[in-house]
Amino acid sequence: MPLNIILIGAGLIGPRHADSVVRHPSTTLLALIDPSPSAPTTASTLNTLYFPSLPALLSTPDIPHPDAAIICTPNHTHVSIAIACLEAGIHVLLEKPVSECVETGLPLLRAVRQYPGVKVLIGHHRRFNPYITKTKEILDSGVLGMIIAISGLWTIYKPDEYFAPPTEWRREKGRGGVLGINFIHDVDLMHYLLGPITRVYGEKTMMQRGGEDKSHTAEEGAAITLRFKSGVVGTFVVCDGVVAPWSFEVGTGENPLIPMVEGDGDGEGGFYRVLGTRGALSVPDLKTWRYEGERSWREKLKVEEYIGEVDREGVPFDLQLGHFVDVIEGRESVARCDAVEGLRALVVVDAVKRALEGETVVEVVDVEELVQ
């Protein structure tokens, strides 16, 4: 029997999830839930039932009980809706971030422990991107030896309309800013590839926006240093006010609204560079550099390309849904990004913001300690 899945939230990202549900052979889109006036029309377009709220659906006779929910509502509503689903025995795929801040995200972790039989996957879909899947495979193979460091970039230019109404909140300190909107994705991927980050420091980039009225108060960028629990160290430059080809979107072509860079190799040198004792890797062009014999700067480095092994037809949202189904049905025992992992990225971003404001090194608190 196909899993009955409800979509909660009819915003920009909701229909993308709905497409994945419709395409998957083991899922059915049972209903769309959203109180907005335009939601019934969206539900009709998706050829599914409509309800203004989860209680309205659950109290309607002759409607099958949902097996799972995909939650795509505003960030500040994520936790309350997810907990309501857990209480009703509905498995949850929750769009990232877990919540708008660390404090409001903690109740979800406590609720997850109360309902261990209900599965929760946080929608950091880039973990399912084929470029990242291949990157992890290369790192796990050990061909680079012991990983010592990583250098990363998320650098792009956002146009003025990105900050125009109705999304002017992106200009506001605490609500908008490149760290919470964009860097959080890279934090999650670094956690996935290299394990937890435990210490951070940063310097702000020069502000360009705002004008005389100082209406743009959100951060535009930073140079960040990182230490991982494993001992790996890293540097990362993130900025949305520069013209450059080094970002996840431009390098992988994942976002259809942002053109992929074109050149001799995908990613044009990579937005991540991973350095090991026996070799180095650039991502997303997926080239490794290693010595064939003795390790010495007198020897010529051998370049090996893995880009041909990437399944470029793989759609991250579809792959994420497939993983969610496998977790629900027991074919996979662990969610690739559970609630702890989802909140861990938010904790690191919060630590970076505090490091920038205080001009000091900040130790990253372990999520498990926060839940105690």
Residue for token digits 């025992």? 333
Q: Domains, the chain, ranges and CATH?
A: 3-118 (3.40.50.720), 130-313+347-358 (3.30.360.10)
> Is residue 296's pLDDT more than 70?
yes
Least confident range from 160-174, 182-196, 330-344, 346-360: namely: 160-174
Parallel/antiparallel/unpaired status of strands 27-33 and 147-155: unpaired
3-state secondary structure of 318: helix
Task: Report the sign of the C-alpha dihedral through residues 12, 72, 239, 210, in that order.
Answer: positive
Q: Is 242 exposed, middle or buried (0-12, 13-18, 19+ CB in 10 A)?
A: middle
- Residue-wise pLDDT for 38-69, tens only, equals 999 999 999 999 999 999 999 999 999 999 99
Q: How far is CA 165 from CA 160, 245, 340, in A?
A: 11, 27, 33
DSSP assignments along 254-272, one per residue: -STTSPPP-SSSGGGG-SE
> Is residue 368's pLDDT more than 90?
no
- Of 102, 217, 105, 213, which Cα lies nearest the Cα of 169? 217
> Is residue 155's pLDDT more than 90?
yes
- Residue-wise pLDDT for 311-328, tens only, equals 888 899 999 999 999 999
245, HSE (Cβ side, Cα atoms, 13 Å): 17
> Is residue 213's pLDDT more than 50?
yes
> Is residue 263's pLDDT more than 80?
no
Q: Tell whether pTM > 0.85.
A: yes
Given this model, what pLDDT does residue 267 score?
Answer: 47
> Is residue 198's pLDDT more than 70?
yes
Neighbours of 256 (CB within 10 A): 8
Longest dimension (CA), the chain: 76
Give the whole-angstrom CA distance, residue 240 versus residue 147: 29
Task: Report the sign of the C-alpha dihedral through residues 20, 22, 25, 30, in that order.
Answer: positive
- Residue-wise pLDDT for 74-133, tens only, equals 888 999 999 999 999 999 999 998 988 899 999 999 999 999 999 999 999 999 999 999
Parallel/antiparallel/unpaired status of strands 197-204 and 362-363: antiparallel
pLDDT tier at 367 (50, 70, 90 boundaries)? confident
- Residue-wise pLDDT for 182-191, tens only, equals 999 999 999 9
Give the whole-angstrom CA distance, residue 52 versus residue 301: 61
**Cα angle: 138, vertex 139, 142; to 5 degrees:** 95
Angle between the N-to-C axes of helices 339-358 and 184-194, in degrees from 0 to 180, rounded to the nearest 10: 120
Given this model, what pLDDT does residue 139 score?
Answer: 98
Given this model, what pLDDT does residue 212 score?
Answer: 63
